[in-house]
Amino acid sequence: MRPYTRSIVELFDGKKRYLIPLYQRQYAWSVSPQLELLWEDIERAVIRLAEDRQSATPHFMGAIVIAQIKTFGKQVQAFEVIDGQQRLTTFQILLAALRDVAAAHGSDYAQEINKLLFNDGVMETPEVERFKLWPTLTDRRAFVFMTDPAADLSAISKAPEDEDGVVRPAAAAHAWFKARVEEHVIADGAFDQFRMEKLFEALRDGLAAVSIELEGGDDPQTIFETLNSRGVDLTAGDLMRNFIFQRAKGLGQEDGSLKVDKLYADHWLPLDRWFWRIEDSRGRQNKPRLDWLLVDHLSMKKAEIVSVDNLFDSYRRWIFDERPFDTVEAELRSISRSAEAHRRLVEMKSDDPLGRFGRFARAFDVSTAMPLVLYLATDAEIGGDLAPALDMIEAYILRRDICGLTTKNYNRQFVDVLDKIRKSGLPTLKALEAHLSISDSDLTRWPNDAEWKQNWLGRDQYKNNRQPRLRHLLQAIEMAKRSALSEEIEIKSELTIEHVMPDKWRTHWPVPGFDHVPEGEFDQDHFARQLERDQAVNKLGNLTLLTQSLNSTVSNGPFALKMPAVRAHASLALNRELHSYDHWDETSILHRGEAMFEIAKQVWRGPLSREAAVETIAAGGG
């Protein structure tokens, strides 16, 4: 590793190129604080040089890490930028702004600065190699237009992320620098050539960066992680991207671009798009989707719980200790497969097994199952058994939920099952079924039909924080109740959960047979019947779905008023069956709950017996 102190002018003096790999972040410096701090440094350098040029020393601007690329024939000397691309890009934007202001006022410095933006002479691919800096794909068009407005932009690849009408940070920075330079060189309403000269001298003599040129034995990743100042905070995804691609070094360049860029374009460019930058929450933590994908991917690969806070360190140790991939390309292909599965889970398309499970996982808040789901979708070679495998996991979770069993051990349970499936000699579906069925502990057991029915009919299920879960459950029963002969109905409005007998039943739904009890007088039998009704209201048999909410008057109104309103939603099979009831009480609720359970039992299957699970696992050598 050889360090050199270079001024901003010296960094770009001579015939050379700085190539920023596509895997690095797009340009991200903003006016506050980065550009403002840089401009303050420049203004201070101007003052120092004016006051005492002889003893003034350059102001240190941070470090830039580069690695020389082998060049052949007419190729321009080139360096791959390991760290410092934000600074290098900003320096070029600043020089372009200085050049533009000088040109606008007829200053000779315009031509002088142009030499720091472009190479000249013999080159292999002059349309690319003439640029001193070759930025990432997402910034390339904006950068080229900024430095050379006359360039043929049709020859510059347009990144999928580019959007018409969107001002890229590089363009915004150029406009801001132009305004600052213009303010600096205008005195008393006129252009001051002396001020332009001193500004250029500040860039040439008053500001400097340490240019670190790597040699064969240097580790670029370690240097990258320790040399970030005045930068934008790096996410776990940023660190992992650089860690992966910096291990693909030494591939050289082709047609003026780095060969490693093809690996990036094929595998990581999709992960740098906005879809993966959107934040999702798990528990109390909000992180970009990319970070959650990488957590699930690593958990799946290691069959261990991985913390998002320690994601990068865990991934790096795994790569160095286990050496799980022969090549970086194989490593990237594995991440790409997980990303495809994760995206299908997020998009939640109803015709996709992963999309359907994604809907279920969102309703039941079970991101802890994702490592196992990713394994089934990518590494398990499960083929056509993916849908029944996901249905099995859903049945396991949903049955436990209805029974009120804890979710606290799910993160450990699902990675343990994953590990056992991977080591099993059984077909994946059989191994999954057996290992989910074998436990008899409250922490991990899969409730059988008897236990599930007891809780289905006996536990209160309606609570405000459970509405997404109940909506999912009732919608699934609704779809199961529709026969092949039923008309196809598309429900475009959001379905709401409604009590058939309202939870505020006392006003209009009195317990029959107690009209003789004077108001305010206690009757033990009457009290017992009221308690029985209170206990029935929030049972599943008393819940239905409506395509719109009933107003509160109807919702809490008497049977004669409410039932016609509910029956008006007869397009839903859940409500058509209510035509058969001429009254509604605790017995009706129990009867309907039992009928719903018989359907649910078919939708969400139960486990193997423990004996059968033990026998199955033993047959696989487990």
What pLDDT sits at residue 591?
Answer: 95
- Name the average pLDDT for the chain: 86
Mean pLDDT for 98-116 is: 96
Question: pLDDT tens digits, residue range 48-66?
Answer: 888 877 666 777 877 888 9
Mean pLDDT for 374-401 is: 95
Mean pLDDT for 102-117 is: 95
Mean pLDDT for 591-600 is: 96
Distance CA 380, CA 372 (A): 10
Percent of the chain residues past pLDDT 90, beyond the cut: 53
Mean pLDDT for 21-30 is: 80
Q: Are the beta carbons of 386 and 377 closer than 8 angstroms?
A: yes
What pLDDT sits at residue 161?
Answer: 44
Q: Are the beta carbons of 495 and 545 closer than 8 angstroms?
A: yes
Q: Phi and psi for 566 in degrees, rounded to 5?
A: -65, -40
Q: Is the pLDDT of residue 305 over 80?
A: yes
Distance CA 248, CA 322 (A): 18
What pLDDT sits at residue 553?
Answer: 62
Mean pLDDT for 122-130 is: 92
Q: Is the pLDDT of residue 576 over 70?
A: yes
Q: Is the pLDDT of residue 162 over 50?
A: no
What pLDDT sits at residue 545?
Answer: 87
What is residue 70's three-state secondary structure?
coil
What is residue 213's three-state secondary structure?
strand
What pLDDT sits at residue 484?
Answer: 46
Print burial letters for 373-407: b (CB count within 10 Å at least 16), e (below 16). bbbbbbbbebeebbeebbbbbbbbbbbbbbbebee
Amino acid at 21: P
Q: Is the pLDDT of residue 427 over 90?
A: yes
Quote the DSSP letter at residue 510: P
Distance CA 246, CA 80 (A): 10
Question: pLDDT tens digits, residue range 65-106?
Answer: 898 888 889 999 999 898 888 999 999 999 999 999 999 999
Mean pLDDT for 298-310 is: 95
The residue whose two tokens read 């790597």 is 214
The secondary element (H helix, E strand) that includes residue 24 is none
Mean pLDDT for 280-293 is: 91
Amino acid at 483: S
If pLDDT is split at 50, 70 and 90, which confidence band does 175 have? very high
If pLDDT is split at 50, 70 and 90, which confidence band does 155 have? low
Q: Are the beta carbons of 205 and 49 closer than 8 angstroms?
A: yes
Q: Is the pLDDT of residue 595 over 90?
A: yes
Question: pLDDT tens digits, residue range 462-520?
Answer: 987 899 999 999 999 988 887 644 555 555 567 888 888 888 888 778 887 776 666 66
Distance CA 10, CA 181 (A): 20
If pLDDT is split at 50, 70 and 90, which confidence band does 111 have? very high
Reference 305, options 188, 412, 402, 203; nearest CA is 412
Q: Are the beta carbons of 512 and 505 closer than 8 angstroms?
A: no
- pTM above the 0.85 mark? no
What is residue 520's three-state secondary structure?
coil
Comparing 34 with 162, which gets the higher pLDDT?
Answer: 34
Range of weakest confidence among 46-55, 220-229, 257-266, 349-358 = 220-229
What pLDDT sits at residue 299?
Answer: 97
What pLDDT sits at residue 266?
Answer: 87
Q: What's the Cα-to-Cα distance from 340 to each of 167, 194, 419, 446, rounded to whole Å?
A: 30, 59, 22, 30
* Structure token digits, residue 164: 């018409």
Return all residues near 245 (Cβ < 8 A) that are at least 6 apart: 21, 23, 260, 263, 264, 268, 328
